[in-house]
Amino acid sequence: MSQRLILASASPRRRELLAELGVDFEVITAQVTEHEEATTDPRVMVAHNAALKADWVAARYPDAWVLGADTTVFIDGHALNKPADGTEARAMLRRLSGRTHTVFTGIALRHFTKGVRIDEGVSSEVTMRTLDEPTIEAYLARVHTLDKAGGYGIQDHGELIVDRFSGSLSNIIGLPVDETKQLLTRCGLLKS
Protein backbone atom coordinates (compact mmCIF):
# COMPACT_ATOMS: atom_id res chain seq x y z
CA MET A 1 0.00 0.00 0.00
CA SER A 2 1.09 3.53 -0.71
CA GLN A 3 2.78 5.69 1.88
CA ARG A 4 2.12 8.82 -0.17
CA LEU A 5 1.15 11.75 2.05
CA ILE A 6 -0.85 14.73 0.81
CA LEU A 7 -1.42 17.92 2.76
CA ALA A 8 -4.91 19.16 1.87
CA SER A 9 -4.18 22.80 2.62
CA ALA A 10 -3.04 25.92 0.80
CA SER A 11 -1.50 27.34 3.99
CA PRO A 12 2.22 28.06 3.64
CA ARG A 13 2.52 27.90 7.43
CA ARG A 14 1.12 24.35 7.54
CA ARG A 15 3.49 23.37 4.73
CA GLU A 16 6.47 24.70 6.72
CA LEU A 17 5.37 23.04 9.96
CA LEU A 18 4.77 19.66 8.32
CA ALA A 19 8.15 19.90 6.58
CA GLU A 20 9.79 20.27 10.02
CA LEU A 21 8.80 16.67 10.73
CA GLY A 22 11.02 15.44 7.89
CA VAL A 23 8.23 13.56 6.16
CA ASP A 24 7.84 13.63 2.37
CA PHE A 25 4.54 15.08 1.26
CA GLU A 26 2.89 16.99 -1.51
CA VAL A 27 0.26 19.70 -1.37
CA ILE A 28 -3.12 19.43 -3.06
CA THR A 29 -5.54 22.16 -2.07
CA ALA A 30 -9.09 21.00 -1.44
CA GLN A 31 -11.65 22.83 -3.55
CA VAL A 32 -14.26 23.21 -0.81
CA THR A 33 -16.26 25.95 0.85
CA GLU A 34 -15.38 26.00 4.53
CA HIS A 35 -18.01 26.50 7.20
CA GLU A 36 -17.17 29.78 8.91
CA GLU A 37 -20.29 30.78 10.85
CA ALA A 38 -18.89 32.87 13.72
CA THR A 39 -21.31 31.51 16.33
CA THR A 40 -20.64 27.81 15.62
CA ASP A 41 -18.83 25.90 18.36
CA PRO A 42 -15.19 26.41 17.27
CA ARG A 43 -14.27 22.78 18.00
CA VAL A 44 -17.07 21.60 15.72
CA MET A 45 -16.19 24.15 13.03
CA VAL A 46 -12.46 23.32 12.78
CA ALA A 47 -13.15 19.57 12.95
CA HIS A 48 -15.74 19.90 10.17
CA ASN A 49 -13.47 22.00 7.95
CA ALA A 50 -10.41 19.79 8.48
CA ALA A 51 -12.48 16.72 7.61
CA LEU A 52 -14.06 18.47 4.62
CA LYS A 53 -10.62 19.24 3.16
CA ALA A 54 -9.17 15.79 3.90
CA ASP A 55 -12.24 13.97 2.56
CA TRP A 56 -12.29 16.00 -0.67
CA VAL A 57 -8.67 15.18 -1.48
CA ALA A 58 -8.86 11.57 -0.21
CA ALA A 59 -11.86 10.88 -2.45
CA ARG A 60 -9.66 11.78 -5.42
CA TYR A 61 -6.55 9.96 -4.12
CA PRO A 62 -7.96 6.96 -2.22
CA ASP A 63 -4.57 5.17 -1.99
CA ALA A 64 -2.84 8.14 -0.33
CA TRP A 65 -2.69 9.38 3.23
CA VAL A 66 -4.35 12.79 3.37
CA LEU A 67 -3.92 15.34 6.16
CA GLY A 68 -6.40 18.18 6.54
CA ALA A 69 -6.32 20.95 9.14
CA ASP A 70 -8.26 24.07 10.06
CA THR A 71 -7.59 26.76 12.67
CA THR A 72 -9.69 29.50 14.22
CA VAL A 73 -9.45 32.09 16.98
CA PHE A 74 -12.24 32.12 19.56
CA ILE A 75 -13.31 34.90 21.94
CA ASP A 76 -16.62 36.12 23.42
CA GLY A 77 -18.51 33.13 22.04
CA HIS A 78 -17.47 33.93 18.47
CA ALA A 79 -14.93 32.54 16.04
CA LEU A 80 -12.65 35.06 14.38
CA ASN A 81 -11.74 33.55 11.03
CA LYS A 82 -9.71 35.23 8.29
CA PRO A 83 -10.54 38.94 8.00
CA ALA A 84 -12.12 40.07 4.74
CA ASP A 85 -10.10 43.29 4.63
CA GLY A 86 -7.90 45.65 6.62
CA THR A 87 -10.88 47.20 8.40
CA GLU A 88 -11.97 43.81 9.70
CA ALA A 89 -8.38 42.92 10.68
CA ARG A 90 -8.17 46.15 12.72
CA ALA A 91 -11.50 45.36 14.41
CA MET A 92 -10.27 41.86 15.30
CA LEU A 93 -7.05 43.18 16.82
CA ARG A 94 -9.01 45.77 18.83
CA ARG A 95 -11.29 43.00 20.11
CA LEU A 96 -8.34 40.81 21.13
CA SER A 97 -6.40 43.68 22.71
CA GLY A 98 -5.42 43.08 26.34
CA ARG A 99 -7.38 39.83 26.51
CA THR A 100 -6.91 36.08 26.38
CA HIS A 101 -8.41 34.02 23.56
CA THR A 102 -8.32 30.39 22.49
CA VAL A 103 -6.90 29.05 19.25
CA PHE A 104 -8.49 25.80 18.06
CA THR A 105 -7.13 23.53 15.33
CA GLY A 106 -8.82 20.45 13.94
CA ILE A 107 -6.72 17.73 12.28
CA ALA A 108 -8.13 15.04 10.00
CA LEU A 109 -6.10 12.11 8.64
CA ARG A 110 -7.63 9.91 5.95
CA HIS A 111 -6.72 6.87 3.90
CA PHE A 112 -9.82 5.75 2.04
CA THR A 113 -8.46 2.42 0.77
CA LYS A 114 -7.38 1.41 4.29
CA GLY A 115 -10.58 2.78 5.81
CA VAL A 116 -8.69 5.16 8.12
CA ARG A 117 -10.56 8.23 9.44
CA ILE A 118 -8.90 9.94 12.39
CA ASP A 119 -10.01 13.31 13.76
CA GLU A 120 -8.32 15.21 16.56
CA GLY A 121 -8.46 18.68 18.03
CA VAL A 122 -5.97 20.87 19.85
CA SER A 123 -6.40 24.16 21.70
CA SER A 124 -3.99 26.80 23.00
CA GLU A 125 -4.42 30.12 24.82
CA VAL A 126 -3.00 33.46 23.72
CA THR A 127 -2.96 36.65 25.78
CA MET A 128 -2.52 39.81 23.75
CA ARG A 129 -0.81 43.00 24.82
CA THR A 130 -3.00 46.08 25.16
CA LEU A 131 -2.90 47.42 21.61
CA ASP A 132 -3.21 51.11 20.86
CA GLU A 133 -3.97 52.35 17.35
CA PRO A 134 -0.32 53.11 16.42
CA THR A 135 0.67 49.55 17.43
CA ILE A 136 -2.18 48.05 15.39
CA GLU A 137 -1.18 50.14 12.36
CA ALA A 138 2.51 49.23 12.79
CA TYR A 139 1.61 45.55 12.97
CA LEU A 140 -0.66 45.68 9.91
CA ALA A 141 2.03 47.54 7.97
CA ARG A 142 4.46 44.66 8.60
CA VAL A 143 2.21 41.60 8.34
CA HIS A 144 -0.22 40.38 5.69
CA THR A 145 -3.12 39.37 7.94
CA LEU A 146 -5.92 38.56 5.49
CA ASP A 147 -4.96 34.87 5.37
CA LYS A 148 -4.74 34.48 9.15
CA ALA A 149 -7.50 33.58 11.60
CA GLY A 150 -8.03 36.40 14.08
CA GLY A 151 -6.17 38.83 11.84
CA TYR A 152 -2.71 38.02 13.19
CA GLY A 153 0.10 35.51 13.05
CA ILE A 154 2.06 34.89 16.26
CA GLN A 155 5.09 33.94 14.12
CA ASP A 156 5.02 37.26 12.25
CA HIS A 157 6.18 40.08 14.53
CA GLY A 158 4.19 38.53 17.37
CA GLU A 159 6.39 40.38 19.86
CA LEU A 160 4.48 43.56 18.92
CA ILE A 161 1.09 42.20 19.89
CA VAL A 162 1.37 39.02 21.98
CA ASP A 163 2.04 39.10 25.72
CA ARG A 164 2.17 35.33 26.31
CA PHE A 165 0.71 31.99 25.28
CA SER A 166 0.15 28.56 26.79
CA GLY A 167 -0.07 25.28 24.97
CA SER A 168 1.28 24.49 21.52
CA LEU A 169 2.92 27.35 19.62
CA SER A 170 2.69 25.39 16.36
CA ASN A 171 -1.05 24.97 16.98
CA ILE A 172 -1.37 28.76 17.19
CA ILE A 173 0.54 29.02 13.91
CA GLY A 174 -1.79 26.50 12.25
CA LEU A 175 -0.68 22.88 12.68
CA PRO A 176 0.09 21.30 16.08
CA VAL A 177 3.38 19.59 15.29
CA ASP A 178 3.59 17.23 18.28
CA GLU A 179 0.07 15.89 17.80
CA THR A 180 0.59 15.59 14.03
CA LYS A 181 3.85 13.71 14.60
CA GLN A 182 2.13 11.28 16.97
CA LEU A 183 -0.66 10.73 14.46
CA LEU A 184 1.73 10.09 11.54
CA THR A 185 3.91 7.82 13.69
CA ARG A 186 0.87 5.81 14.81
CA CYS A 187 -0.08 5.29 11.14
CA GLY A 188 3.45 4.26 10.11
CA LEU A 189 4.32 7.41 8.16
CA LEU A 190 7.08 8.41 10.58
CA LYS A 191 9.49 6.32 12.59
CA SER A 192 9.12 6.65 16.36
List phi, psi (to 5°) of 14. -65, -40
| Amino acid present at 110 | R
Catalytic residue chosen out of the listed positions 24, 70, 119, 132 = 70
The answer to whether the CB of 105 falls within 8 A of the CB of 178 is no
Rounded Cα–Cα distance for residues 15 and 8 (Å) = 10
132 is catalytic: no
Rounded Cα–Cα distance for residues 92 and 63 (Å) = 41
- What's the Rg (C-alpha) of the chain? 17
Known catalytic residues are 70
